Amino acid sequence: MNHKATFDAVPYGRNFDVAGRVAIITGGGQGIGREYARQFAAAGAHAIIAEANFERASAVQDEIIAAGGSAFALHTDVGDQNSVEAMVADVIRRFGRVDVLVNNAGIFTSLKMKPFEEIPFDEWEQVLRVNITGCYLTARAVTSHMRQRNWGRIINITSGSVPLGVRNYLHYVTSKSALIGMTNSMARELGSYGITVNAVQPGGTFTEVPRETLTEEGKSRLIASQCIPREEVPMDLVGLVLFLSTPAASFITGQTIAVDGGLTHW
- The answer for residues whose C-beta is within 8 angstroms of residue 205's C-beta and 6 or more apart is 31, 32, 232, 233, 234, 236, 237
pLDDT at residue 5 tops 70: no
Tens of pLDDT along 18-74?
999 999 999 999 999 999 999 999 999 999 999 999 999 999 999 999 999 999 999
> Closest Cα to residue 158, out of 104, 77, 93, 101?
104
The answer to whether 8 and 250 have CB atoms below 8 angstroms apart is: yes
Backbone angles phi, psi at 108, to 5 degrees: -150, -60
Give the tens place of pLDDT for each residue, 150-196.
Answer: 999 999 999 999 999 999 999 999 999 999 999 999 999 999 999 99
Would you place residue 9 in the very low, low, confident or very high pLDDT band (cuts 50, 70, 90)?
Answer: low
* Residues taking part in catalysis: 172
Rounded to 10 degrees, what is the CA torsion of 55, 153, 159, 35? -40
When pLDDT is averaged across residues 125-148 and rounded to a whole number, the result is 97
Q: Say how many Å lie between the first and final Cα of the chain, rounded.
A: 34
Q: Order the strands of the 195-202 sheet from edge to edge.
A: 70-75, 46-51, 22-26, 100-103, 152-157, 195-202, 256-259
What pLDDT score does 3 carry?
Answer: 53
Residue 70: what residue type? S
What is the model's pTM?
A: 0.92
Please, is 143 exposed, middle or buried when counting C-beta atoms within 10 Å of its C-beta (0-12, 13-18, 19+)?
buried
DSSP 3-state percent helix, strand, coil across the chain (nearest 5) = 50, 15, 35
Q: Name the E strands within 104-211.
A: 152-157, 195-202
pLDDT at position 109 is 85
Collapsing DSSP states into helix, strand and coil, what is residue 32?
helix
Which residues on adjacent β-strands are paired with residue 23? 47, 100
- pLDDT at residue 249 tops 80: yes
Give the pLDDT of residue 12.
58
CA distances from 205 to 109, 168, 222, 248 (A): 11, 18, 10, 26
What is the C-alpha separation between 243 and 15, in angstroms, rounded?
9
Contact 73, 58 (CB under 8 A): yes
Q: Look up residue 205 and give its DSSP letter.
A: B
* pLDDT for the residue 1: 47
Fill in the DSSP letter of residue 148: H
Q: Residue 73's closest CA among 24, 4, 117, 144?
A: 24
- Residues 97-131 have pLDDT tens digits of 999 999 999 998 888 989 999 999 999 999 999 99
